[in-house]
Chain A
Amino acid sequence: GAVVSQHPSWVICKSGTSVKIECRSLDFQATTMFWYRQFPKQSLMLMATSNEGSKATYEQGVEKDKFLINHASLTLSTLTVTSAHPEDSSFYICSAPKPGQSGEQYFGPGTRLTVT
């Protein structure tokens, strides 16, 4: 079964509004989670690393004030797209490392965001 969940699975919002996406690790704790976005027929682009108890680390070119990340607990990270624009429409996916040293990543099912 799924070990990382995302909510909502899809969302439509109007330009200028904000939308929050949740990422939860199920039955395990994750001090680190990763947020990706994916454009149609493109690969995943890492946006930021979410760290429990400290600030997120953003990749170059990603606006931290636009994409707010909060790692509220050891099982929950949220991504808030603020003042959304149509160009923010994309598929957002989170991941969490499997506990231990294997380095395996579990990925969530993704959230389809459409900004009208």
Chain B
Amino acid sequence: KQEVTQIPAALSVPEGENLVLNCSFTDSAIYNLQWFRQDPGKGLTSLLLIQSSQREQTSGRLNASLDKSSGRSTLYIAASQPGDSATYLCAVRPGGANSKLTFGKGITLSVRP
């Protein structure tokens, strides 16, 4: 059974800092991995999607990497801003475009002004 772990559960950093959020998964046979952002009381916003054949994806100040063999993904946030404060979840899809996602518990990020 696939398990997704995100540690630590919470992180507080000063504005401007570059930071890395970690995600690990137990079964390397994945179709893709997706990073989401969730603001309090809101739904999920997709940030980056990495297919199993890819190593990384970039969007603006965000960069996500994937190492399937070691079961790890990282989300790199450059020059963090208070507006980046949110919960970041990673989720893996085992196989097929419509297969079920397995989520981590998320990392709650607070960026202090």
Contacts and interface: CB of A to CB of B under 8 A. Distances in A.
Interface of A: 6, 32, 34, 42-44, 46, 49, 91, 93, 95, 97, 100-110, 112
Given A42-B105, A49-B100, A104 B44 contact: no
Given A42-B105, A43-B89, A44-B103, A102 B51 contact: yes
B98 interface: yes
Contacts of B44: 44, 93, 95, 107
Give the one of B31, B43, B93, B97 with max A CB within 10 A. B43
Contacts of B36: 107
B29 interface: no
B106 A43 contact: yes
B77 interface: no
B71 interface: no
A9 B49 CA distance: 26
A103 B96 contact: yes
B73 to A, nearest CB: 15
B74 to A, nearest CB: 18
A85 B106 CA distance: 28
A46 B41 contact: no
Nearest to B89: A43
Nearest to A42: B105
Contacts of B104: 43
B46 interface: yes
B34 A104 contact: yes
The 8 closest A-B pairs by CB, nearest first: A107-B44, A109-B43, A103-B97, A43-B105, A110-B43, A43-B103, A103-B32, A101-B97
Nearest to B52: A103
Given A93-B43, A109-B43, 19 more contacts: A34-B101, A44-B44, A44-B89, A91-B41, A93-B44, A95-B44, A95-B101, A100-B97, A102-B97, A103-B32, A103-B34, A103-B51, A103-B93, A103-B97, A104-B32, A104-B46, A105-B101, A107-B46, A110-B41
